[in-house]
Structure 1
Amino acid sequence: MEQQGEIGKKCHILLLPYPAQGHINPLLQFGKRLAYHNLDTTLVNTRFLSNSTKPEPGPVNIECISDGFDLGGMNAAASRQAYFDRLESVGSETLSDLIESLRSRGRPAHVLVYDPFLPWAADVAERSGLRSVAFFTQACAVDIIYRHVWDRQIEPPVTTGPVRFPGLPPLEPSDLPSFVTGSDPVVNPDLLSLVVNQYKNLEKADMVLINSIYELEHEEFDWMKSRLPVKSIGPTVPSTYLDNRIPWDSHYGFNIHTLDTAHYMEWLDSKPRDSVVYVSFGSMASLSPDQTDAVASGLIATKKSFIWVVRTSELAKVPADFIRESAGRGLVVSWCNQLDVLAHPATGCFVTHCGWNSTTEGIGLGVPMVGVPQFSDQTTNAKYVEDVWKVGVRVKTDEKGFVRGEELERCIKEVMDGERSGEIRENAKKWSELAKEAISEGGSSDKSIMEFIDECCK
C-alpha cells in the first residue's frame, strides 16, 4: 500500500465521461477507488452539468470543459448530431486548454481515462503527451457486438437470427442492442455511430477498462483479451454496499434528479422480508400513457407491496385512480436512493429496464429481477439476466413491443412465488457473492485496478 501511495503522489489521472448520469457515475466511482490508493484524480465534467447539479465527488477533484452549450447542454442543440459535433470540436479544444492549465498550476496530468463515446479524447491525450485509457461503461457482451459491427462482420439492421458471436450465447434480433436491429439503425443513425465508433482510435489506448466482472462474463472477456489490453474493473457500485473497504464511499456523487423526501425506507422497515416489488425504469426511459397504465394494472393485480419510481415529468401518465386503489401497499416516488431500496431485506423483486448500471446493482445486491428492456443495450442485458445468469425473467411483448399488465403480473409472481423462484434467489445470492469478491482485496477487479496503477502510473 505504501508503494502505491508513493506512486499516487506523482500520478494525476483525469477522468472524462460522456456527459450523462449513467456514464459519469461509473467513472467517478472508479476515481474514488483510485483515490483510496492515494492517487490524484480529477473528474472532467461539462460546465452545463456542473452548473445544473451539485456533485458530491468525495476526494475526487472536479474540473470543467465546454460542450459548446454551457447554458443548455444537449437540449440547446438543434439535433443530437449537432450536439455530438459541437462536443467534439469545443470539447477537444477546452480539454487541451484544461490539460495545459493544470500543468501551469503545478498539477500536471499523466493519464486520461476517457469514455469511448468520446473517441476524440485519445487524440487530445496523444497531442498533450498523456497516456490514454478507454473506459467502457457497458457489458463486455455488448462491447463485443459493437466490435463486430465496427469490423463490418454484421450489418445493421439485423432482422434474422440466431446471430452467433464468439463468447456469447446465440442471440435472436430481439436480444441484440436496439441500435443494430429493427428500425433503430434507420431512425437513430447518430446513436448507432456513437456506440460503434467507440472502437475508433482504440489502437491508441494504452489499456481498455470494462465496467463489468470477469466471473460474470469470463468467455466474453477472454475473447476481448485476445484482441485488446482489456481489464475488468466492476462493479462500480459504492463500496459500502459491496466490500465496505472505503467507508466514505457510501453513495453515487452525481444525480440529475432530486431525491424524493417520502419516508420510503421507514415504510420498507414495516414490510416482511422479500415481500416488496421495486419498480424503476431508469433516468431516461419514457413510457407511453398506455404502457404506464399497463404497468399500474399489473402491479395492482399482483396484490403485493411495491415502490414505483415515476419521475416528476412522467407523473401525469399514472392513472388517476391508481394511488387510491393501491393505498396502503404501494408507494409512488419521483426518485429515490435505489441502492438503499435494493439493499433492504424487504425488497424481493426488482422490475428494471435493465440499464447496465441498474443490472449490476441488482446483481451486486442479490435481488431477483424482472427485465422490461426499452432500448439500447437493455435488451442484451435482459437476455443475460434470464438465460445466462438466471437471476430473473424477461417480460414478453406483443408485436408492437407492448408489455401487457397480465404479463408483468405473471413475471413478478414467477420471480417471487413461482416454481423457479427458489433457483432464481439462489443464483442471485451466488452472483452477489462473486461480485463482492471481485472488488474485494485480491479479487479479479481489485487486481485489475492495481495493475492499472502499476502499468499506467509508473
Structure 2
Amino acid sequence: MEQKRQHFLLVTYPAQGHINPVLHLARRLAAANGAAVTFSTAVSAHRRMFPSLAAPDDEVQDGPVAHIPFSDGFNEEGFVWGTHDVHHYLSQLRTLGSSSVSSILQRLHGRGSPVDCVVYTFFLPWAADVARANGVPSAQYWIQPATVFAIYYHYFHGYSSLITTACNSEDPMSTTIDLPCLPSLRARDLPSFLTIQPDDPYAVVLSMFKDTLDTLDRKCALSSSKPIVLMNTFAELEEDALSAVEGLTLIPIGPILSSDAGRDLFKLDEKGYMEWLDSKPHGSVVYVSFGSVRKEQMEEILNGMKDSGRPYLWVLRRECRWEGLELQDDDENGMVVEWCSQVEVLSHPSVGCFVTHCRWNSTVESLVCGVPTVGVPQWTDQATNAVLAEKSWGTGVRGEVNGEGVLGREELKRCLDLVMGEGESSVRIKRNVELWRDKATEAMSAGGSSYQNLRKFVDGITKSGQTIF
C-alpha cells in the first residue's frame, strides 16, 4: 500500500523578505521530501506574485506548490508602513487571517487532502492557534539566524534589563553584552528593534516579536512535547546559538535557497548581466545590492567604486535612483541593473565581493556561494548578521559609517582592499569563505546535518497530530 504524502501548509507574512525564503522551503519540501505543499500569504502579495489572475484570490498551481491566499483585510493594495495604521492592520491580520487560514484548512480537508502540519513565519503567531483549533500540529519557520532568535528569546526571558542598561550606558558602542551561549555583543550589534526609542513608528515590531515568543511559551505549557522552530541555518554555523534556548526544539534545516535561480516570482527585466560577468577576470567584480539607498550614500558608492578601479555590478531599482546623479546603466567598468538573480550572480566565478546590508537571505547566499562580504547594516537583524560574518565566521568585514549613517567612498575602498587585495586579511577571509562554503554544501547534501534534520522533521509528522523529533 502506497504511503500517504505528508501535506504542509506554509503561511507567511506578506513581505518579500518573508515570502522568498518560505517559497524556497516549499520547493525544498516538495523536491527533496516528496511532500504536498500549499503556500499561503495575503491576497495583496498573492496578486503581485500572479498579476494575470482573473480574480485576486484565485488558487494557483505553480509546479509542485499550490498557492491559496488568505485575507488580511488589505486585499487591494496591501498594508503600507507609514500610510496605514499599524495597530489596526495587526488587528485585522489576526482576526481575518485566522478566519481565512482556518477556512483554507477546512477546504483542503474537504477535498480529501488534509493538512498534516502548518508552518508559519514570525509575525503570524495566531497561525499556531488556528492549527491547534483544527487539530493540526504546527512549527514556526525562523528566517533570521539562530543567534538573533536567541537574542530576542533572552530579552523576553529575564535579560531585558541587562540589554537596556548596556544600550543606555555612557559608551554603548563599546559596552559588551554577554548572553548565554552567544558571543559578546555591543549595542550596535543587536537587532535594531531592541535599541530604538518607544516613539519610533517601528517600535511596535518589538511587541510583534514578543507575541511570537509568547505563543511558543503557551504552546510549550499546553503540550508534553517541545514546540518546534525550523531554522534557516545549519548546525555547524551556529552550534552554540542553537543550544541557547531551553524548552524549544530548534531544528537547523538550512541554508534554504531556491533550487531554481531563474524562477523568482518578483523578477524584473534582465539586461545581459551574465554575459557582462563572463567578460571579467576571475574574482574581480564587486557585486553591490542594497535596496533603497539615500542620495548621499549612492554618490559615495558610485565614487568609491570608480576610485577603486574594480569592475562592479550594482542592483538598483529605477525608483530608487536620484535625479541629478550621473548614474550610467552600464559602461566598461560598471553595470547597473534593476534586478538580477542573486544566487546566479554570486555563483559566477568573476564575482569576488558582495557589498550588502546583510539581510539574512543575502548573508546565507554569500556563504553558500563562497563570496566575501562588505557589510553595511541598517536595521532589524542586519547588524547582528554583519558582526557574525566578521567576528564569528571571518567571511567579511563591516564598513564603518559616518555620523549620518553613510559609508564613505574612502571607507568603501578600504574595505574592498581588505577583502579583495593581496594582504593577509584577504587571504584569511578567502580561506574562511571556502571553508564555510564547503560546510554549507555538506549540510545540504544527502546525509548532511540539515538534510537529515528536514527529512526527520517531515517523517516525524504522524496521523495522531503529534510531531516526533
Q: TM-score, normalised by structure 1?
A: 0.90
* Equivalent position to 1:448, from 453, 457, 464: 453
Q: How far apart, in 1, do the equivalents of 2:406 and 2:197 lie?
A: 16
* Equivalent position to 1:235, from 255, 258, 275: 255
Give the drift of 1:332.
Answer: 0.7
Give the drift of 1:56.
Answer: 8.6
Q: How far apart, in 1, do the equivalents of 2:433 and 2:280 lie?
A: 21
* Paired position in structure 2 for 1:142: 148
Give the drift of 1:184.
Answer: 7.4
* Equivalent position to 1:401, from 399, 405, 408: 405
* Equivalent position to 1:251, from 253, 261, 264: 261
Give the drift of 1:354.
Answer: 0.3
* Paired position in structure 2 for 1:245: none
In the alignment, is the contact (CA less than 8 A) between 1:19 and 1:46 conserved in 2? Answer: yes
In the alignment, is the contact (CA less than 8 A) between 2:13 and 2:42 conserved in 1? Answer: no
Q: How far apart, in 1, do the equivalents of 2:313 and 2:261 lie?
A: 20
| Partner SS for 2:243 | helix
In the alignment, is the contact (CA less than 8 A) between 1:115 and 1:135 conserved in 2? Answer: yes
In the alignment, is the contact (CA less than 8 A) between 1:150 and 1:197 conserved in 2? Answer: no
* Paired position in structure 1 for 2:57: none
* Paired position in structure 1 for 2:223: none
> Could you report, residue by residue, the CA deviation over 1:369-407 in whole angstroms, capped at 9, with x for unpaired residues?
100111110000000111110001000122332221111
| Partner SS for 1:153 | helix
Superposed counterparts of 1:5-154, under 5 Å: 6-8=3-5, 11-36=6-31, 37-54=33-50, 57-75=62-80, 78-154=84-160
* Paired position in structure 2 for 1:167: 181
In the alignment, is the contact (CA less than 8 A) between 2:61 and 2:67 conserved in 1? Answer: no
Residue 441 and residue 401 in structure 1: after superposition, are their counterparts in 2 closer, same or farther (change >3 A)? same
In the alignment, is the contact (CA less than 8 A) between 1:210 and 1:233 conserved in 2? Answer: yes
* Paired position in structure 1 for 2:273: 264
Superposed counterparts of 1:387-426, under 5 Å: 387-417=391-421, 418-426=423-431
Identity %: 38
> Could you report, residue by residue, the CA deviation over 1:91-141 in whole angstroms, capped at 9, with x for unpaired residues?
011111111111122211121011122111111011111001111110000
Question: What stretches of structure 1 of length at least 5 have no aligned partner?
Answer: 239-248
| Partner SS for 2:211 | helix
Comparing both chains, which one has the higher relative contact order based on Cα–Cα distances under 8 Å and sequence gaps of 6 or more? 1
1:207 pairs with 2:228: yes
Q: How far apart, in 2, do the equivalents of 1:57 and 1:80 lie?
A: 32
Q: TM-score, normalised by structure 2?
A: 0.88
Q: How far apart, in 2, do the equivalents of 1:298 and 1:414 lie?
A: 14
Alignment root-mean-square deviation, CA: 2.1
Give the drift of 1:299.
Answer: 1.1
Q: How far apart, in 2, do the equivalents of 1:435 and 1:28 lie?
A: 20
Q: How far apart, in 1, do the equivalents of 2:90 and 2:333 lie?
A: 45
* Equivalent position to 1:373, from 363, 374, 377: 377
Give the drift of 1:318.
Answer: 7.4
| Partner SS for 1:15 | strand
| Partner SS for 1:201 | helix
In the alignment, is the contact (CA less than 8 A) between 1:21 and 1:255 conserved in 2? Answer: no
Amino acid at match of 1:41: V
For structure 1, which segment, 205-214 or 358-367, has the greater mean C-alpha deviation from structure 2 after superposition?
A: 205-214
Flag as ranges the 4+ runs of structure 1 deviating above 6 A.
Answer: none
Q: How far apart, in 2, do the equivalents of 1:403 and 1:149 lie?
A: 30
Q: How far apart, in 1, do the equivalents of 2:413 and 2:28 lie?
A: 40
Give the drift of 1:197.
Answer: 2.6
Superposed counterparts of 1:222-371, under 5 Å: 222-224=243-245, 226-238=246-258, 249-251=259-261, 253-256=263-266, 258-282=267-291, 286-316=292-322, 319-320=325-326, 322-323=327-328, 327-371=331-375
For structure 1, which segment, 147-156 or 228-237, has the greater mean C-alpha deviation from structure 2 after superposition?
A: 147-156
Amino acid at match of 1:274: G
Q: How far apart, in 2, do the equivalents of 1:270 and 1:259 lie?
A: 23
Residue 444 and residue 252 in structure 1: after superposition, are their counterparts in 2 closer, same or farther (change >3 A)? farther
Residue 414 and residue 184 in structure 1: after superposition, are their counterparts in 2 closer, same or farther (change >3 A)? farther
In the alignment, is the contact (CA less than 8 A) between 2:387 and 2:398 conserved in 1? Answer: yes
Residue 219 and residue 317 in structure 1: after superposition, are their counterparts in 2 closer, same or farther (change >3 A)? farther
Q: How far apart, in 2, do the equivalents of 1:425 and 1:121 lie?
A: 42
Aligned residue pair count: 436
In the alignment, is the contact (CA less than 8 A) between 1:280 and 1:351 conserved in 2? Answer: yes
For structure 1, which segment, 90-99 or 160-169, has the greater mean C-alpha deviation from structure 2 after superposition?
A: 160-169
Q: How far apart, in 1, do the equivalents of 2:311 and 2:133 lie?
A: 56
Q: How far apart, in 2, do the equivalents of 1:382 and 1:66 lie?
A: 35
* Paired position in structure 1 for 2:467: none
> Could you report, residue by residue, the CA deviation over 1:159-213 in whole angstroms, capped at 9, with x for unpaired residues?
3321111221111111111111144774421122223332121142742111111
| Partner SS for 1:13 | strand
Give the drift of 1:346.
Answer: 0.2
1:188 pairs with 2:190: no
For structure 1, which segment, 404-413 or 379-388, has the greater mean C-alpha deviation from structure 2 after superposition?
A: 404-413
Q: How far apart, in 2, do the equivalents of 1:309 and 1:345 lie?
A: 18
Amino acid at match of 1:259: L
- Structure 1 or 2: larger helix share? 1
* Paired position in structure 2 for 1:243: none
Amino acid at match of 1:15: L
Q: How far apart, in 2, do the equivalents of 1:300 and 1:128 lie?
A: 59
